[in-house]
Structure 1
Amino acid sequence: MSGTPPFPEFRACLENALDALGMQADHARIPALLGYLQQLQHWNKAYNLTAVRDPGKMLVQHVFDSLAIVPELRARWPRRALRVADMGSGAGLPGIILAICQPDWTIVCVDAVGKKTAFIRQAAGVLGLKNVRAEHGRIESMDSLQADLVISRAFASLSDFVRVAAHHRAPGGILLAMKGQDPVAERAALEAGTGWYVKRAVELDVPEMDASRCLLELDSTGPEGTP
């Protein structure tokens, strides 16, 4: 990217959010993060990528929300170059944010809506992200992406997520679902009907967002590794 960074009025807000997440070393990524926000606002007018129209709200509800998982993922995989599949990626969330923050990770953003994958390709090109690609298609019908980490954000119920996306895991890979308030009913349905379980739940503190958010790790082996 070149020229004047977009949305200079949001720079301090983004710096504060990164600091709150313990990501002080990521201040150098601010131009790319704001560049993504600029692309999202611009293309949303034609592509209807999100119901959120105000760029300040986009920053919190989409960018900050996606950034909130980065410290958790870094703590778990501090020195590993991961293959990540973002299922039902929509406007590239959290995939593009992960690609900006983790240039050594390979990100595949999957969506069944062509205009959304077209936007992801456009944004990745403008931002110079070589580690992200978009795949247009139905998740359940695609050949396995063999990802270390299969993730979704506000995509489907836990049961549906497992049903359509579990085959995209590489051996030893995991499924992660980003959710709002801990979905008790979805957990019960998952454990009753699929043989899968919520192995781990992490509460997320999204800067400037007054709402519950959590990250759920799903496993098919049951609590404490039992079959």
Structure 2
Amino acid sequence: MGGTDNIKQRLRSAAQTLDLVIEDDEIEALLAYLRQLERWNNTYNLTALRDPEHMLVQHVFDSLAIVQPVQDILDKNTVVAPAIADIGSGPGLPGIILSIMRAQWQVRCVDAVEKKVAFMRQVASVLRLSNVQALHARVEQLEPLQADLVVSRAFASLADFARLAGRHVGPGGTLLAMKGREPVDEVRALHEETEWRVDHIQALAVPELDAQRCLVWMSRQGNL
């Protein structure tokens, strides 16, 4: 993956590509997150990606790519101190990355796998992220979180995501699914089977990643 200076420069370049302002302390926190993930992954198999190079691009850059789109939707909805829930967060993706980049966002990362929650809690402690909480639970068994935004990265189909996680979205809030190519069949099933509707689908260009990515923004029927 190259030395520390190389990674820092790539982070700065990625942020610039994404029209994202990134501070030196945020770069240091992202580096520390990567180091922790690589170390824990050797023992606990937190992610299928073993190569630190792949972790940087497919995990960190991929998560960074949604920071400004999320900021834009929260600004549009005039949410000042938002509550965000990351469902099926795994090792904190995108939740930990969001909490690093936006200290004013209160982020709850939910996962049913205990070792992944333990990792997120360790990272939050090491990086002193007071705005993130890791919850060990199945999403369907949690008390409603009343979040302004509920996000998921490859957690389930759109319809299953809406059924399982939709109740954690507060009034007027938004569901956000991070996907690869545009999920046409999933959108059809979502509209046929749930009260949720796709507001819009936003193409996403992740720095250094040669793959299709998009964001699927959803609102309850009648709230569009």
- Category of TM-score, reference length = shorter chain: over 0.9
Show structure 2 runs of 5+ residues with no match.
Answer: none
Partner residue, 2:197? 197
| Matching residue's letter, 1:198 | V
Moved more, 175-184 or 17-26: 17-26
Match for residue 66 of structure 1 among 51, 63, 84: 63
On the 8 A contact 2:173/2:219 being kept in 1, the answer is no
On the 8 A contact 1:18/1:27 being kept in 2, the answer is no
* Separation (CA, whole Å) in 2 of partners of 1:36 and 1:8: 16
Report how many aligned residue pairs link the two structures.
219
Q: Note the aligned Cα RMSD (angstroms).
A: 1.5
On the 8 A contact 2:91/2:120 being kept in 1, the answer is yes
On the 8 A contact 2:117/2:136 being kept in 1, the answer is yes
1:55 aligns with 2:46: no
On the 8 A contact 1:191/1:197 being kept in 2, the answer is yes
On the 8 A contact 1:18/1:26 being kept in 2, the answer is no
SS at match of 2:86: strand
Match for residue 9 of structure 2 among 12, 16, 30: 12
User: Identity percentage over the alignment?
Assistant: 53
1:37 aligns with 2:34: yes
Give the ranges of 4+ consecutive aligned residues of structure 1 lying more than 2 Å apart after TM superposition: 6-9, 24-28, 75-79
On the 8 A contact 2:40/2:119 being kept in 1, the answer is yes
Partner residue, 1:208? 208
On the 8 A contact 1:7/1:38 being kept in 2, the answer is no
On the 8 A contact 1:154/1:179 being kept in 2, the answer is yes
Q: Deviations over 1:22-68 (max 9, x none)?
A: 11344441000111111110101111111111111100000000000
On the 8 A contact 2:63/2:97 being kept in 1, the answer is yes
* Separation (CA, whole Å) in 1 of partners of 2:130 and 2:220: 33
- Structure 1 segment 43-192 matched on structure 2, within 5 A: 43-78=40-75, 80-192=80-192
- Residue 199 (structure 1) shift: 1.1
Q: Deviations over 1:129-165 (max 9, x none)?
A: 0000100011011100111111101110001101111
TM-score by length of 2: 0.93
SS at match of 1:150: strand
TM-score by length of 1: 0.92
Partner residue, 1:3? none
